[in-house]
Structures are given as C-alpha cells and as structure tokens.
Amino acid sequence: MSLLYPRLLPNETERRFRMLHELSPGQHQDMVANHSPRAVYAATGGRRVSREELDQLRDSVLRAARDQGFPTSRSTVQRSAFDRKTAQILHEHCFMVPGEASQRQIWAFLSLALLPDVCAWRWPADSDGRYVADRFKGTDLTRHGFARLWTRAHVLHDPKEDDPYNLLDVLGESDLDQIMARRSALAASPALVRSIVRAHRDDRSERFVSSRDVFRESLMRLLRLTAFLDLDSASEPELGHLVRRVRAEARAVLAS
C-alpha cells in the first residue's frame, strides 16, 4: 500500500522558510519535527505515514549525510555521493506513488520540518545569507532538494538490473539535468530516459571525440525527433535501438 505524507500548509511553509534564515546553520536541528498541526493529508489513496516511519526516514537520510561529511564538509564528490544514496533511500523506503510525489507541500514538509538541517547543509545559503526557495518550498520540483532525487530514482529505477539503481551512477549532475529539464520532450517518458542513460553507460567508443560531447549532440538530435515521432508508443527495446542509432550518428558527425 502506498503511504500518504503530510502536506505543509502554505502559511506554515513560509513561516518555516523565514525561520531557516533566522537561525544559524548549527541551530537548524531545532526546527526538526515529525509532524505539524499545520499540515494536512490526502483523503484517499493509501494510509498515512506514521511518525515512527518518518523518524526512520530521517535517520536513513541523516546517516547518508554524515557518511559524506555532514555538517562540516561538502565537496563536489561528497554532494554527488549523498544525492545518489538519498535518491535510493527516498524511492525505496517512502512507498510514494507519483501522484503523491507531485504534491509540492509534501516536499516542503520534508525539507522544512523533517530534514531542514540536512537540506540546508546540502543547499547552503549564498553570500548574502539567503537560501534558494526552490530547494526548500517545492515551488519547482525539478529543483527541490529532495523531490528531484526521488524523481531521478523513480525514472531510472530498473528492476531488471542486478542493482536496480545502478543508472543513478552513470551521469553527473549537469548531464542528467540536461535530460530531466526537458520534461515534456524527454523526461516525460521514463523508458526513454533509461534508454538514453543506458546507451551512455554502454558506449565504449571514445576515440576522437568525448562521450560527453556525443551525449549532448545526441540529445539535441533526439529533441528534434520528438517533434514528429510518437516515442510514448514505442517499446523500451525500440527506444534503445533508436537512441543507440542516434548516438552513433552524433559520434560520426563529431568525428568527421
């Protein structure tokens, strides 16, 4: 059965986001809560997540953060490792269906009530002491600190693999964002995204041009194809064949 998560009401979201700025990073743990009287749940669609389950989720994500230097260290490698592990934790243990995951106020609860200290560590304030609202409020789920990770894991999860989450390791942050930012053309089809990432992983022909250049050129070509091909109706093997063909064409053009 799917779980239903607290949805932080808009006024409470704003109040907690202001509080985030009023406290120093070392005090953000004082904001941690596994419930809120200013949160609601969906009426149907599953059972409400328990406070104990929310505590377990916090413990798992907190452990992943501590493994990567929380709260003092935050290198690029550590951030990437945290993102990969947390994406798997959120997808594997939240038992959240896509409809529930599309609710912005759920992610506001997770980042501003359950895990404000971890989210502020991963996405610190800028030089003016301001935190980016999208990372905490859920105004844009493709930029939210945790929603973006759940979405990646959901899209790239492949139960046929020995490690169902191995595709999370293939692309770096900026390259994966090149796909996920094209929500209507590419990211709307999980099968297509998996095919693109799998083709990049399996391509060992790195003579003359870099695989990253091939990746970006092939994305441009796929985007043009989506204008007149209905890729939603294609099977995953068909998508895999198409992506590999386009990638080979991109490599040939770049090598010429």
Question: Residue 206's pLDDT is what?
Answer: 63
Give the model confidence (pLDDT) of 99-143 as tens digits: 999 999 999 999 999 999 999 999 999 999 999 999 999 898 989
Give the model confidence (pLDDT) of 39-83 as tens digits: 999 999 899 999 999 999 999 999 999 999 999 998 999 999 999
Measured distance CA(146)–CA(169) in Å, rounded: 17
Q: Per the confidence metrics, is the pTM higher than 0.95?
A: no
Q: What share of the chain is helix, strand, coil (3-state, %, to 5)?
A: 60, 5, 35
Rg (CA), the chain: 20
Question: Residue 116's pLDDT is what?
Answer: 98
Position with higher pLDDT, 184 vs 7? 7
Give the model confidence (pLDDT) of 141-195 as tens digits: 989 999 999 999 999 999 988 999 999 999 988 888 888 887 777 777 899 999 9
Measured distance CA(240)–CA(191) in Å, rounded: 9
By the 8 A CB rule, do 174 and 79 touch?
no
DSSP state of 143: T
By the 8 A CB rule, do 165 and 156 touch?
yes
Question: Residue 255's pLDDT is what?
Answer: 86
Give the model confidence (pLDDT) of 204-221 as tens digits: 776 678 888 999 999 999
DSSP state of 49: P
Give the model confidence (pLDDT) of 22-36 as tens digits: 999 899 999 999 999
Cα separation values, 32 from 29, 115, 133, Å = 5, 6, 18
What does residue 47 show for φ and ψ, rounded to 5 degrees?
A: -110, 155
Question: Residue 2's pLDDT is what?
Answer: 92
What does residue 99 show for φ and ψ, rounded to 5 degrees?
A: -60, -40
